[in-house]
């Protein structure tokens, strides 16, 4: 089933974006939107609001607002699970043991500096894509009505 998902490249690997793109090119997914941006602490906290009660929340938000990220919309069959499979297990050390070809095994450092984020449900994908690529109906230069 054709899906869209958010692929978020985290600050630890934005300078290696080409390696991440090569992984995407090796799959059946295409990049349909892309944007480099730097999140404020509060934007990162909003993005990860579902984790606000977790012990790692502050670390996560601090890291995600520490440098630029690249947000991409990926499209293709099973885009959501495909991108998460390309990333591998959340913790890079686990990824090295269980999925040595994965992005987190190859480029990640630990459970926080772990290369990327992928939406984990279609509802999350819709919300997270809207976060980085807000729909502009009724706004902007092409919608002056």
To the nearest whole angstrom, how small is the minimum distance from the Cβ of residue 124 to ligand CMP? 10
**57 known member of a binding site:** no
Long-range contacts, stretch 103-109, CB < 8 angstroms, 24+ apart = 103/19, 103/20, 103/23, 106/19, 107/12, 107/13, 107/16, 107/19, 107/20, 108/12, 108/13, 109/12
Three-class SS of 67-102:
CCEEEEEEEEECHHHHHHHHHCCCCHHHHHHHCCCC
DSSP state of 119: -
> Distance between CA atoms of 36 and 24, rounded to whole angstroms?
17
Q: Could you list the residues that contact ligand CMP (CB under 6 A)?
A: 51, 56, 60, 90, 111-112, 114, 117
To the nearest whole angstrom, how small is the minimum distance from the Cβ of residue 27 to ligand CMP? 18
DSSP state of 117: E
Closer by beta carbon to ligand CMP, 110 or else 136: 110
**85 known member of a binding site:** no
**35 known member of a binding site:** no
Could you tell me if 112 and 59 are in contact, meaning their C-beta atoms sit under 8 angstroms apart? yes
**143 known member of a binding site:** no
Closer by beta carbon to ligand CMP, 35 or else 51: 51
Closer by beta carbon to ligand CMP, 25 or else 56: 56
Closer by beta carbon to ligand CMP, 106 or else 117: 117
To the nearest whole angstrom, how small is the minimum distance from the Cβ of residue 21 to ligand CMP? 19
Q: Which token pair is 17?
A: 């974006």
| Residues with active-site annotation | 117
To the nearest whole angstrom, how small is the minimum distance from the Cβ of residue 112 to ligand CMP? 5
Q: Residues annotated in the binding site for ATP, as ranges? A: 10, 56, 84, 90, 104, 114
Known binding site: residues?
A: 10, 56, 84, 90, 104, 114
């Amino acid at each position: 089933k054709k899906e869209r998902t958010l692929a978020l490249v985290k600050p630890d690997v934005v300078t290696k974006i080409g390696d991440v793109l090569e992984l995407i090119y090796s799959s059946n997914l295409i990049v349909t939107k892309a944007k480099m941006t730097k999140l404020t602490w509060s934007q990162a906290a909003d993005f990860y609001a579902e984790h606000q009660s977790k012990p790692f929340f502050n670390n996560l938000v601090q890291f995600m607002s520490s440098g630029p990220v690249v947000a991409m919309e990926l499209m293709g069959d099973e885009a959501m699970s495909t991108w998460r499979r390309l990333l591998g297990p959340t913790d890079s050390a686990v990824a090295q043991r269980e999925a040595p070809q994965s992005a987190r095994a190859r480029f990640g450092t630990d459970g926080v500096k772990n290369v990327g984020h992928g939406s984990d449900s279609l509802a999350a994908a819709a919300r997270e894509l809207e976060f980085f690529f807000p729909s502009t109906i009724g706004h902007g230069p092409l919608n002056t009505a």
